[in-house]
A and B are shown apart, each in its own frame.
Chain A
Amino acid sequence: MILDAKIPEGPIEEKWDAWLDAHRMIGPGNRPGRRVIVVGTGLAGASASASLAALGYRVDAFCFQDSARRAHSIAAQGGINAAKDYASEGDSIRRLFVDTIKGGDFRAREANVWRLAQLSANIIDQAVAQGVPFNREYSGELATRSFGGVLVQRTFYARGQTGQQLLLGAYSALQAQVAAGRAHVHNRHEMLDVVIVDGRARGIIARNLVTGEIERHVADAVVLASGGYSNVFYLSTNAMGSNVTATWKAHKRGALFANPCFTQIHPTCIPQTGEYQSKLTLMSESLRNDGRVWVPRDPNETRDPNDIPEEDRYYFLEERYPSFGNLVPRDIASRAVKAVCDEGLGVGPVKRGVYLDFRDAIARQGREAIAARYGNLFDMYRRITAVDPYHEPMQIYPAPHYTMGGLWVDYELQTTIPGLFAIGEANFSDHGANRLGASAMMQCLADGYFIVPRTVTNYMATLDGSVSPDEPAFAQTEREVVERIERLMGIGGRTAPQVFHRQLGQIMLDKCGMSRNAEGLQEAMREIAAVREAFWSDLFIDGRADELNPSLEYAGRLADFLELAELMCLDALRREESCGGHFREEHQTEDGEALRDDEHFAKVTAWAHTEDGRPVPHDEPLVFNEVALATRSYK
């Protein structure tokens, strides 16, 4: 298959405007008759739903939580990037573009990234107009700060609750559309399949999570905004319910899945302390603006961190990467943390942690200044660990956090199934092999507010006629969904889903995590297949299918993770190079940095599902005209 990304002709600065000028429109009078389904109400889904409904379309939005406002985006902490140059540093669209391409280790599509940078400023304007209370300077103007991997201050923030405030902005815009009767939010609903009629996405099958009813929903276009799949690792910084089901079902219906092995392990999370633990808590990257990362030089150090003098501290990021220091990108910081812990220098009960120390920042700027910036993060840390970070350094360790891989989409954010779009973390588009901090929210909102409303319009303008839920395709897909639920309920084994999930997570973390090698990946694939088999023969689900049943929901999501995991390993195996978060031990420089192979792998790998279960890779070559391919250096 030839993957046509449909990138418009012309200079990169003009591509999006040229596309907008040429796209097909639908007159206001015809819009109420058009229906769009949006799966997900996070930053991407809520902003898309609100914007599409405001245009006049009928929008049905779905989320599995009890309210649209609770989507996982709510937990984003540190901030959102925009090329506004409010800090007067000479920042520009081009610089944000270059930083993102470079941060992604040259594995993202230039045209998409440019558009993202171009739209970034509009997002801030839109959010402020909605009443999003970003932090302000004394002058009353918007404040900005730095994030990893860049040398400018372009990150806008609302305390440590930026995701919450941006999501509430999009959520309230969506609620306004609900009040206007154009949008309908189906909460506590889970999409379990997409319905294809004559080769086009025409609706979804969803389960009402309260009653267990299986419902058919019809549309002219379906937008997936269902988030990322970090929970394949069991423990991650994602919310408990975050899952891959929506995109995986679409994949099995024909949408290609791109770069599944590109995952991000975030350096600064609270280390795991016990088996009982259900999630890992992120400590925002913004903390690395003022916190210094170190370990004791002596592996047998027993002193309290505060009693260890300067000369016995190893500030390994500052020493190894003098120009970026503590603010190197995430993939690099995480690997460095893992390396010092592998050398036996780690701290904490199992020596899997490093210090993040605010002593110097507090001495220099005062406790108050630090509290104003990070107060709620410090409180959260203290609540969870019972240690006061104002007095003792935090302990941190990397944790699975974000997935750059996702459904393959073209420039219009359309998947390989016509009429099926993917936005936000659910697609693979803009971050290449490593995402820079504060860029996920930017991408979600660029996709949702500004891009997909246009491209969905462009698509629907070509459609004639609508379909009915009585079409055979709806009945057939519904039957398959019901059969799968019956199969899960009918296994009648003895083991709860969580047990299998924990096993899967361990395999993925060990063999498809921060570093990977061919042998390990092959082993992992065999082990995953074994867990999957055990799952399908020994699963226990209590309760019934026709009621609220958290065990059944969990099992269904896990069944999809058990399939995705294998594809991740296969993709990691095929990509014989190291780039960004994908570190193949066989491919590294002498000093342990990632070694890319641009000749063979400057491309996107998009996998097709096949009936015999053997996925087939398709390549989209990546062409770099604006930024010369170069070895990434943060030294």
Chain B
Amino acid sequence: MRFTLEVWTQASRDEEGHFERYDVDGIDPDASFLEMLDELNARLAAEGKRTIAFDSDCREGICGMCSLTIDGQPHGPNQVTTCQTFMRDFEDGATIRVEPFRSGAFPVVRDLVTDRSALDRIVQAGGYVTTKTGPKPDPNAAPVPPAVQQKVMDAAACIGCGACVAACPNGAAMLFTGAKVTHFNLLPQGQPERASRARSLVLAMDAEGFGGCTNYGECARVCPQEIPLDVIGMLNREYRRGARREDDTVGTRT
């Protein structure tokens, strides 16, 4: 197969970027999108040219490292991660536009590589159960019905790639944050910190410069893990529930 690629090129965070055009041919339809870029890079290197920087690691859809916007869609056309997108899904001869995930909270580091550490900082605000390493109660002492476990797992499956943020016209991180809150607040282990969790995370989200949610639903449409939109409803409910609690010492959203 052959393709024309328009690839975002940017030397560093502080420099301006632009699109660069490349033609690639002889691509196997079963090559993944990233393997196609590997091939392009190999050819550029053979010509002594600068290669294109992009992120990836596991290449099996679970680490969340790959992060390309393909023809305007985070991760590409199929609602799977970039590394699980295959060239057979594109028309032979197509022109494809490749950009980094776009969001104010994800500054570009170089070319297609962005800095998504803001997501780590949201987790630091309370996306966990506080517990030290040491003796714990037997897990079967607090049974969890399989239906609850399934719901928890649907949310916990988030790979933290940030596609939801890149897809959102407001640059909101509600799906990511909602998934965290749903995961912990539904479990018995998450109850002690339940009242403050949603509010702490929402405050962190605001502080990192993520936008607010106006129900576009684009996030869930691109999410490679199919995190359901319900988690945002859960986040809102838990946030309000927390705000009503008098014993809470965390500030409120301004």
Please list the residues of chain A having a beta carbon within 8 angstroms of any beta carbon in chain B.
47, 50-51, 54, 65-70, 72, 74-75, 86, 122, 124-126, 128-131, 133-142, 158-159, 161, 164-165, 168, 171-173, 175-176, 178-179, 185, 187, 210, 239-241, 273-274, 276-279, 281-282, 380, 383-384, 386, 449-450, 453, 494, 496, 498-499, 540, 542-543, 547-551
New A-B pairs, 5, CB < 8 Å, besides A66-B65, A131-B187, A276-B31: A67-B120, A128-B136, A133-B156, A498-B38, A551-B51
Q: Is B213 an interface residue (CB 8 A)?
A: no
Contacts of B126 in A (CB 8 A): 179
Q: Which of A122, A129, A133, A176 contacts B152 (CB 8 A)?
A: A133
CB distance from A132 to the nearest CB of B (A): 8
Q: Give chain B interface residues in 35-55, CB to chain A under 8 Å.
A: 35-36, 38-39, 41-42, 44-46, 48-51, 53, 55
| CB <8 Å contact, A131 and B183 | yes
B130 interface residue (CB < 8 Å to A): yes
**Interface residues of B, Cβ cutoff 8 Å to A:** 11-12, 27-28, 30-32, 34-36, 38-39, 41-42, 44-46, 48-51, 53, 55-65, 80, 84, 86, 88, 109-110, 113, 115-117, 119-120, 123-140, 143-146, 149, 152-153, 156-157, 159-160, 183-184, 187, 189-190
A546 shortest CB reach to chain B, Å: 10
* B59 contacts A131, C-beta separation under 8 Å: no
In chain A, what residue has the closest Cβ to B56? A240
A75 to B50, CA, bound (A): 31
CB pair B57–A277 under 8 Å, yes or no, is no
With known contacts A131-B184, A276-B39, A65–B57 Cβ distance under 8 A: yes
Contact B139 A128 (CB under 8 A): yes
Q: How far is the CA of A273 from the CA of B86 in the complex (A)?
A: 14
Decide: A383 and B129 in contact? CB cutoff 8 A: no
- Residue pair A161, B157 in contact (C-beta under 8 Å): yes
Instruction: Name the A residues within 8 Å of B46 (CB-CB).
Output: 494, 496
Give the residues in chain B near A274, CB-CB below 8 Å: 28, 30-31
Is there an interface contact between B42 and A496, defined as CB atoms closer than 8 Å? yes
Contacting residues, chain A, for B31 (C-beta < 8 A): 274, 276-277
Known: A67-B116, A139-B143. A450 touches B133 (CB 8 A): yes
Distance A548 CA – B55 CA, assembled complex (angstroms): 11
Which B-chain residue is minimally distant from A275 (CB atoms)? B28
Interface centre among B125, B140, B183, B190 (most CB of A within 10 A): B140
Known: A164-B157, A178-B124. A50 touches B137 (CB 8 A): no
- Which chain A residue shows the least CB distance to B128? A172
18 contacts between A and B (CB under 8 A): A47-B133, A68-B120, A75-B60, A75-B62, A126-B134, A133-B153, A161-B153, A164-B159, A175-B124, A179-B124, A239-B57, A239-B58, A276-B27, A277-B35, A278-B32, A450-B133, A496-B42, A550-B53
**Pair B128/A542 contact, Cβ less than 8 Å:** no
Say whether B133 contacts A239, CB under 8 Å: no
Q: Would you call A164 and B12 a contact (CB within 8 A)?
A: no
Q: Is the CB of B58 within 8 A of A278?
A: no
Residues of A within 8 A of B35 (CB): 276-278
| Nearest CB in chain B to that of A281: its residue | B60
CB <8 Å contact, A496 and B45? yes
Partner of A548 from the list B36, B53, B129 (CB cut-off 8 Å) is B53
B45 near A540 with CB under 8 A, answer: yes
Contact residues in A for B157 (Cβ distance below 8 Å): 159, 161, 164
Q: Which residue of B lies closest to A376 (CB)?
A: B157
Whether A126 pairs with B55 at a CB distance below 8 angstroms is no
Chain B residues within an 8 Å CB radius of A158: 153, 156
CA distance A122 to B125 in the complex (A): 27
Of B12, B32, B128, B152, the residue contacting A175 (CB under 8 A) is B128
**Which residues does chain A contribute within 8 Å of B137, judged by CB atoms?**
125, 129
A179 & B125 in contact (Cβ 8 Å cutoff):
yes
Given the complex of chains A and B, what is the CA–CA distance between A66 and B110 in angstroms? 13
C-alpha spacing A543/B109, complex, angstroms: 14
The answer to whether B110 and A498 have CB atoms under 8 Å apart is no
Which single residue of chain A is at the shortest CB-CB distance from B143? A140
B35 vs chain A, min Cβ distance (A): 5
Residues from chain A with a CB closer than 8 A to the CB of B55 are 66
A residues less than 8 Å from B38 (CB atoms): 276, 278, 498
Chain A residues whose CB sits within 8 angstroms of the CB of B57 once the complex forms: 65, 70, 72, 239-241
Which A-B residue pairs are the 7 nearest by beta carbons? A140-B143, A172-B128, A496-B45, A125-B136, A128-B139, A51-B133, A239-B57
A69 touches which of B12, B28, B42, B64 (Cβ 8 Å): B64
Q: Answer whether A66 and B117 are a contact pair too, CB < 8 Å, given A159-B153, A278-B38.
A: yes
Give, as a whole number of angstroms, the nearest-CB distance from B144 to chain A. 5
CA distance A279 to B61 in the complex (A): 12
A101 CA to B189 CA in the complex, in Å?
Answer: 35
- If the complex has contacts A173-B128, A494-B46, are A547 and B12 also in contact, measured as CB distance less than 8 A? yes
CB distance from B50 to the nearest CB of A (A): 5
CB atoms of B146 and A137 under 8 A apart:
yes
Contact at A168–B156, with CB atoms within 8 Å?
Answer: yes
Closest to A540 in B: B45
- Contact call A386/B88, Cβ cutoff below 8 A: yes
Enumerate chain B residues within 8 angstroms of A164, measured Cβ to Cβ.
Answer: 62, 157, 159
- Complex formed: what's the CA distance from A498 to B58 in Å? 17
Give every chain B residue within 8 A of A239 (Cβ-Cβ). Answer: 57-59, 63
Cα distance, A386 to B46, chains bound together (Å): 32
Q: Nearest residue in B to A174 (C-beta to C-beta)? A: B128
Interface centre among A159, A279, A450, A499 (most CB of B within 10 A): A279
Chain A proximity of B155: nearest CB distance (Å) = 9
Report how far A136 CA is from B147 CA in the complex, Å. 9
* CB <8 Å contact, A140 and B145: yes
Q: Chain B residues near A210 (CB, 8 Å)? A: 109
